[in-house]
Amino acid sequence: MFKASHSFAFFDYFRIPYEVRTPQQESGYAGAAAFVRMVTAVARPGQASRSLMWIGAEARPAAQNLAGQLGCYRLHNFTFFGHVAPDAAILAMLQQPGRGWHAAESIRAADGRRVAGIWRDTDGNVFLPFDPAEVMRLFWSEGYRDIGRSAIAASCRAAALRGYYLARPALPRSVQLALRRRFARVQSASPFPGWPIEDSLHDFYGWLFAVTADLAGGPVPFLGLWPDGRSWALVLTHDVETAAGYRDMDLLRAPERARGYRSSWNFVGARYQVDSETVRSLQGAGCEIGVHGLWHDGRDLVGRFMDERLPAMWEHASRWNAVGFRSPATHRAWELMHRLGFDYDSSYTDTDPYEPQPGGCCSFLPYFNRNTVELPITLPQDHTLFTILQHADADLWLRKAGHIRDCGGMVLVLTHPDYAHDQRLADGYQTLLDTFADDITAWRALPREVAAWWRRRAASTILANGDGWRIDGPASDTGRVCFAGDGSMTDQLRSASPTACAGQ
CA distances from 337 to 197, 325, 411 (A): 24, 9, 21
Q: What is the secondary structure of 77-92 as a DSSP string?
A: TEEEEEEE--HHHHHH
CB of 418 to Zn ion, least distance (A): 8
Q: Which residues pair with 237 in a beta bridge?
A: 264, 414
- Least distance to Zn ion, CB of residue 142, Å: 19
**Pairing, β 114-120 against β 19-20:** unpaired
Among residues 75 and 414, whose Cβ is nearest to Zn ion? 414
DSSP H or E run through 347: none
- Residue closer to Zn ion, measured from CB, 37 or 383: 383
Closest distance between Zn ion and the C-beta of residue 346, in Å? 12
Rank residues 202 and 332 by Cβ distance to Zn ion and give the closer one.
Answer: 332
User: Whole-angstrom Cα distance, residue 273 to residue 287?
Assistant: 19
Q: Are strands 324-325 and 344-345 parallel, antiparallel or unpaired?
A: parallel
Pairing of strands 410-415, 232-240: parallel
Rounded to whole angstroms, what are the CA distances from 169 to 296, 325, 354, 442?
9, 22, 18, 39
For Zn ion, the closer of residues 328 and 408 by Cβ is 328
Closest CA to 225 of 499, 503, 15, 459: 15
Q: How far is the CB of 159 from Zn ion (least distance, A)?
A: 22
Which residue in the shown chain puts its C-beta closest to Zn ion? 239
| Beta strand extents in 341-445 (DSSP E only) | 344-345, 367-369, 372-374, 410-415, 442-444
**Helices 173-188 and 151-167: crossing angle, nearest 10°?**
160
As measured in angstroms, the least distance from the Cβ of 259 to Zn ion is 25
- Kindly write down the DSSP assignment for every residue of 133-162, as one continuous string: HHHHHHHHT-GGGGSSS-HHHHHHHHHHHH
Q: How far is the CB of 297 from Zn ion (least distance, A)?
A: 11
- Residues with Cβ within 8 Å of residue 103, at least 6 apart in sequence: 87, 90, 116, 117, 118, 119
User: Residues interacting with Zn ion, by CB under 5 A?
Assistant: 239, 241, 328
Q: Minimum distance between the CB of residue 216 and Zn ion, rounded to whole angstroms?
A: 46
Q: How far is the CB of 310 from Zn ion (least distance, A)?
A: 18
Closer Cβ to Zn ion, 131 or 352, answer by number: 352
Choose between 214 and 239: whose C-beta lies nearer to Zn ion: 239
How does DSSP assign 166-183, residue by residue?
HHGGGS-HHHHHHHHHHH
Nearer to Zn ion, 332 or 480 (CB): 332
* Least distance in angstroms from the C-beta of 296 to Zn ion: 6
Task: Kindly report the length of the chain.
Answer: 504
- Output the smallest distance, CB 330 to Zn ion, in A: 8
Phi, psi of 208 (to 5 degrees): -70, -35
Cis amide bond preceding 196, omega within 30: yes
Measured from the CB atom, the residue of 134 and 241 that comes closer to Zn ion is: 241
Give the nearer residue to Zn ion in terms of CB position, either 52 or 294: 294
Which residue type does 169 have? Answer: P
- The residue among 239 and 355 lying less far from Zn ion, judged by its C-beta, is 239
Q: Report in angstroms how near the CB of residue 427 gets to Zn ion at its nearest.
A: 22
Q: Measured from the CB atom, is 142 or 239 closer to Zn ion? A: 239
User: Across the strands, what pairs with 236?
Assistant: 413
